[in-house]
């Protein structure tokens, strides 16, 4: 009888120990990091199949590099910095821990005053700061046809705002396509027929450049 009781006690303890080990192991596992990609058609994946756009390819890249990350597609085709500012607050659901901000391309296409674009980006970063969110700000480069003053003002707002708010910064969404000083004409094979939006291979190259910056963003969130 004592033997049966002793066996039962040992068996019960073993089960309890196994349960404790499982729970402890689960506790140390990293939680899923939730990111919001706030942007325009470049983020949304204009002209591409569902799995070919920036967000799904970034999700896959992060998974392949060992990250448990969920990236919410907050890209709206045609959106300006003003549009991003108008919707950033309600886009930040409680689980979001960081943002990737890629806006300004449509401001350029419309010739919007860089001062207005800067004020909108400033507003977006203020919202992120108020929510205690880490941010990766991805810049744009203005063409020369608006004049030197416009280009200087537009190009400068991204690094200056990144420094002001202490965000991570990447100088261009297209950095992965122009690694050796190529011009847009040189990367035509990676663009859709409109010459503005990347094709699936172009997005893959873009993600290869953006991915390490997003890893830095995740590291900041988890720190």
Distance CA 223, CA 212 (A): 16
Q: Which residues are catalytic?
A: 41, 194, 197
pLDDT at 82: 98
pLDDT at 181: 65
pLDDT at 187: 87
CB-based contacts of 130, cutoff 8 Å, min separation 6:
none
**CB of 135 closer than 8 Å to CB of 98:** yes
pLDDT < 70: residue spans in the chain: 1-30, 181-184
Q: Coil, helix or strand for 90?
A: helix
Q: What is the DSSP letter of 78?
A: T
30 CB-contact burial (10 Å; exposed 0-12 / middle 13-18 / buried 19+): exposed
Residues 75, 179, 137, 150, Cα dihedral to 10°: -90
pLDDT at 154: 98
200 CB-contact burial (10 Å; exposed 0-12 / middle 13-18 / buried 19+): middle
Q: What is the reported pTM? A: 0.85
Q: Residue 152: name the closest of 180, 116, 127, 115 by CA.
A: 115
Phi–psi pair at 24, nearest 5 degrees: -65, -40
pLDDT at 180: 73
Distance CA 134, CA 165 (A): 10
Encoded tokens for 178: 């122009």
pLDDT at 98: 98
CB-based contacts of 207, cutoff 8 Å, min separation 6:
54, 57, 58, 61, 176
pLDDT at 29: 53
């Amino acid at each position: 009888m004592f033997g049966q009781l002793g066996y039962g006690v040992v068996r019960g303890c073993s089960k309890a120990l196994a349960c404790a080990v499982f729970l402890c192991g689960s506790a140390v596992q990293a939680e899923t990091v939730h990111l919001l990609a706030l942007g325009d058609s470049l983020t949304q994946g204009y002209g591409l199949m569902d799995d070919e756009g920036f967000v799904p390819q970034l999700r896959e890249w992060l998974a392949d590099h060992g990250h448990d990350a969920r990236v919410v597609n907050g890209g709206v085709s045609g959106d300006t910095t003003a549009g991003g500012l108008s919707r950033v607050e309600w886009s930040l659901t409680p689980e979001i821990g960081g943002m990737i901000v890629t806006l300004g391309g449509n401001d350029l296409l419309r010739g919007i005053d860089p001062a207005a674009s800067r004020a909108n980006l400033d507003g977006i970063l203020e919202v992120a700061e108020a929510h205690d969110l880490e941010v990766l700000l991805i810049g744009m480069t203005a063409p020369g046809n608006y004049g030197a003053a416009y280009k200087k003002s537009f190009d400068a707002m991204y690094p200056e705002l990144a420094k002001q708010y202490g965000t991570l910064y990447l100088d261009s969404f297209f950095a992965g396509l122009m690694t050796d000083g190529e011009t847009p004409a040189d990367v035509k094979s990676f663009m859709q027929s409109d010459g503005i939006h990347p094709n699936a291979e172009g997005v893959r190259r873009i993600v290869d450049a953006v991915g390490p910056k997003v890893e830095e963003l995740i590291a900041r969130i988890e720190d």
